[in-house]
Structure 1
Amino acid sequence: AKLATDYIKQGQDTIFVGFNQNFRIVVAKTAVTDITTVSIPANASAPRYRAINLDAITVDTGLSGQCSNGVLIGEDGEVQALWLNYLGERTSNLHKDVEYHLGFATPSLLPVLSKVQQGEMPKLRILNMESYVVQMSQARIMGVSEEWIEKVTQANPSRHQLFMVRKVGCQPPGFNSAADTFEEGDIILTLDGQLITRVSELDIMYEKDTLAALIVRNGQEMRIRVPTVPTEDLETDHVVVFCGAVLQKPHHAVRQQISKLHSEVYSRGSPSYQYGLAPTNFITAVNGIPTPNLDRFSEEVRKIPDNTYFRLRALTFDNVPWVVTMKKNDYYFPMSKYIKDRSQPSGWRTVCHDKDKYKDGIALDAANLNPDAIDEGFDGVSDIDPDLE
């Protein structure tokens, strides 16, 4: 199908084609009711990826709420927008996930698709911040001059708006930049000299390490250089399984919701929950030794003998420090790593640790585990909780 290169507009006629709940194709001639900038609400209990800085399209048909996917097309068959399902927050009373059905204009896909069509793997960069719309009445109060308000009116006659920084995410582990950063409450006027009144105009960030930004901060205009973040640094490429806990670097959704990265050792949840090591905790130290990343964590826990108690210092997602005492058991929960490796058929390489330490040369075989195995220990190794010694 041919993708539209011009953005669909409010009030424009379109044809909605979608799959309903019965997986049947439904079609309706309709019109675009609104195009507005939205951010999908965060899920506080378990951070997960959500769409931000998004221009969402809504249409005047009841079928839009019944279909989780589809397209908006013109009379000539040109695809004007994709109809997508966005996962939102989890309701506290019904314990159900809220889903949003919204349209996404196809011209926003073209910068990425063009590289794919050329046989390139897109390596994009993004601004690590979440923004929301500010109307001109509020912008004037916050210090935007009449000159800039007039420029906004001319640049975007249909929607007189600017963008304010709502949240600045944590930078990826190991990211260093001498550039300045946005602060919450900044109003963005221009990026690299281009006036920003539409989300689509943020696309200039994709291939630049830094951007020259003109902002209004605390009522004053300022010029700063802001860094962009490579999207490949946002992917999970290293997972450690230890004592039943699945640990990884904090993924993008976590960094979207916190202001400070306490550690690169982040718990996803697992059998270790019985010790109180719940999902969304950050592990900051093992037996008092700091573990800022997964490699340092693996190094320290390998020093702990089997069937021995040890302490983890942790921090909850809402910044409450605490200490958990656990007992290492290499028979039931041996430590292993999963590392992203494109040379492997599955795309991941598995590394198992301490196979040579098992008593009597017992191999790792989950199918042959027996109740007596938990009582097997090593001579000279303490089997008493350190709190009781």
Structure 2
Amino acid sequence: NCVRSFDTEESDEYFATGFIVDKERGIILSNRHVVSPAPIVAQAIFKNYEEVELKPIYRDPIHDFGFFKFDPSKIKFMDLVQIPLCPEKAKVGIEIKVVGNDNGETLSILSGTLARLDRRAPMYGTGNYNDFNTFYLQAASGTSGGSSGSPVLDIEGNAVALNAGSTREASSSFYLPLNRVKRALKYIQEGKEVPRGTLQTEFEYKPYDELRHLGLKSTIEKEIREKFPEETGLLVVRIVLPKGPADGLLIPGDIVICANKNMIANFTQLFSIIDDSVGKDIELTICRGKEQIDVKLKIQDLHSITPNRFVEIGGSIINELSYQLAYSYSWSVGGPYIAESGYMFNCASVWCMSIITSVNNIPTPNLDEFINVMKTLSDGARVPIKYYHLSNVNNEYTSIICVDRHWHKFKIAVRDDTTGLWNYEEMPPPSSIHTYKPETAQIQTLDESLQPAGKIWPSLVIVNFCLPYNVNGLRNGQNTQVKTFGLFFI
């Protein structure tokens, strides 16, 4: 159960598959969209129906894999077995079995033949989680919901890939290669943080015929083909995010030839260098048109732009805009992002997937500034808010929010991957409750010909109400009532 909306995820419940990769430490591999960056409550049910609690200990910021941890001593009635990760055994033409919880079945075994090792990562839609900067494997195994996180096994029982998605238009299924998974597992087993670097740039794999149109010289093509005879293309820059490490240095269409003087022909080769160079400079040799250029770039820590905390205020959830979502809209990383609009922002018609630029006329370029501004506001204060929606970043809107510090607590949650839990810190209560001075209404006098309407006209009011919680099916709305008695009205 995903208990809070956060980043790319919405609160929901789901079932999926995972498999043991370290039986001594109790580590289970599954997909990122299963482990989830959001707060979750998860249980693993084994084949003999023993059940254990799971703690999410790692989810990759980009690629679709993550790890759960459980206590192996809790399993009393079966011997645990781990599945070895063997990415090198993935070859076109091998027979594979996808074993998992396909479509909610307790156990399903689907067969297929690996047809491709260089498919582009599947797209799940703008604003959703999407993998990129990696190849995917493809076979016609026809997996569906519940198979996420299933091992893709060869005839010897080795995991050669991780099932991740499928298409509804055909029986094709898509599998994540295990090269980066195996590397991450090694760091986790050693109790270390998994180093991940980024240039905030998407690369795509282009075949040689298209590269020639982009300016690749025949002499360079010949040299690369001789060094990598099995490769059929090179990496090309597709998207460079504004304000990122590569902004102004790389442009779409640049062909990557070398990294640190080493020839590069695929994603694994490039990102092995990037991930091992966090905080350092690397040199990329690129072809731009007919020119060959050396570009020096500083590798950013990918974890630094992957949110691990959120704010709860007025029933709303706010986190820093992640690299995942920024990439989806080709926008710059950072800024208070509304993951769940909740009571306070719903009442002001400020919807999910909006970025808050100011509150009470004070700029909020990041989550810390948003927190500082909200601390200064009293319960019931009505203040202006400026924001834009990610689907239309060029239009800024203004609305009025009524600050709620009464019905919902103002809290900050931070994820602790050593325990798999989220630690909450409650903010101090507001210094005061905002009050408003009563105003005298001016009533229009109606003509005698409109009587007796003029007699009941001063008694009519419009009541606007916002419910902090849905009660007995009631939602936010407004109503008109007709008669007053002194200071009260019905």
Which band: TM-score by shorter chain? 0.7 to 0.9
Deviation of 1:222 after TM superposition, in Å, equals 1.0
Partner of 1:10: 92
C-alpha separation in 2, matches of 1:358 and 1:99:
60
Which one has the largest radius of gyration?
A: 2
Partner of 2:311: 240
Partner of 1:249: 320
C-alpha separation in 2, matches of 1:65 and 1:155:
41
The alignment partner of 2:252 has SS state of: coil
Partner of 1:380: none
C-alpha separation in 1, matches of 2:256 and 2:180:
20
- Per-residue CA deviations over 1:313-344 (Å, capped at 9, x if unaligned) read 11221211111112223222443322345798
Partner of 2:380: 307
Partner of 1:92: none
The alignment partner of 2:253 has SS state of: coil
C-alpha separation in 2, matches of 1:15 and 1:287:
58
The alignment partner of 1:151 has SS state of: helix
Deviation of 1:181 after TM superposition, in Å, equals 4.2
Q: In the alignment, does 2:215 pair up with 1:143?
A: yes
C-alpha separation in 1, matches of 2:369 and 2:146:
49
Query: Structure 1 residues 246, 195: closer, same or farther in 2, change over 3 A?
Result: same
Partner of 2:452: none
The alignment partner of 2:284 has SS state of: strand
Of 278, 282, 290, the match for 2:363: 290
Query: Structure 1 residues 184, 56: closer, same or farther in 2, change over 3 A?
Result: same
Deviation of 1:273 after TM superposition, in Å, equals 1.9
Deviation of 1:263 after TM superposition, in Å, equals 5.6
The residue type paired with residue 314 of structure 2 is C
Number of residue pairs matched by the alignment: 347
The residue type paired with residue 352 of structure 1 is M
The alignment partner of 2:326 has SS state of: helix
The residue type paired with residue 210 of structure 2 is Q
The alignment partner of 1:189 has SS state of: strand
Q: In the alignment, does 2:227 pair up with 1:155?
A: yes
Does structure 1 retain, via aligned residues, the 8 Å contact 2:201–2:246?
no
The alignment partner of 2:114 has SS state of: strand
Of 404, 425, 435, the match for 1:329: 404
Deviation of 1:2 after TM superposition, in Å, equals 2.4
C-alpha separation in 1, matches of 2:364 and 2:410:
16
Q: How does 1:1-389 map to 2 (within 5 A)?
A: 1-4=83-86, 6-27=88-109, 30-41=112-123, 43-44=125-126, 47-62=127-142, 67-85=147-165, 101-169=173-241, 181-202=249-270, 203-208=272-277, 209-261=280-332, 264-268=335-339, 269-271=341-343, 272-317=345-390, 318-319=392-393, 320-340=395-415, 346-354=421-429, 357=432
C-alpha separation in 1, matches of 2:417 and 2:145:
39
C-alpha separation in 1, matches of 2:88 and 2:420:
40
The residue type paired with residue 274 of structure 2 is M
Equivalent pairs: percent with the same residue?
A: 15
The residue type paired with residue 351 of structure 2 is A
Deviation of 1:167 after TM superposition, in Å, equals 1.3
- Per-residue CA deviations over 1:143-173 (Å, capped at 9, x if unaligned) read 111111112322343441111111123568x
Does structure 1 retain, via aligned residues, the 8 Å contact 2:201–2:240?
yes
Instruction: Give the TM-score normalised by structure 2.
Output: 0.62
The residue type paired with residue 264 of structure 2 is I
The residue type paired with residue 268 of structure 2 is S
Query: Structure 1 residues 185, 277: closer, same or farther in 2, change over 3 A?
Result: same
Deviation of 1:115 after TM superposition, in Å, equals 1.9
C-alpha separation in 1, matches of 2:207 and 2:418:
51
Query: Structure 1 residues 339, 33: closer, same or farther in 2, change over 3 A?
Result: closer
Instruction: Give the TM-score normalised by structure 1.
Output: 0.77
C-alpha separation in 1, matches of 2:110 and 2:416:
46
Does structure 2 retain, via aligned residues, the 8 Å contact 1:13–1:29?
yes
Does structure 1 retain, via aligned residues, the 8 Å contact 2:285–2:293?
yes
Runs (5+) with no aligned partner, structure 1: 89-95, 360-365, 370-389
C-alpha separation in 2, matches of 1:63 and 1:316:
35
- Per-residue CA deviations over 1:14-41 (Å, capped at 9, x if unaligned) read 4443442242434466431112231332
**Which range moved further: 346-355 or 316-325?**
346-355
C-alpha separation in 2, matches of 1:65 and 1:339:
30
Does structure 1 retain, via aligned residues, the 8 Å contact 2:411–2:424?
no
The residue type paired with residue 23 of structure 1 is E
Query: Structure 1 residues 349, 59: closer, same or farther in 2, change over 3 A?
Result: same
The residue type paired with residue 287 of structure 2 is V
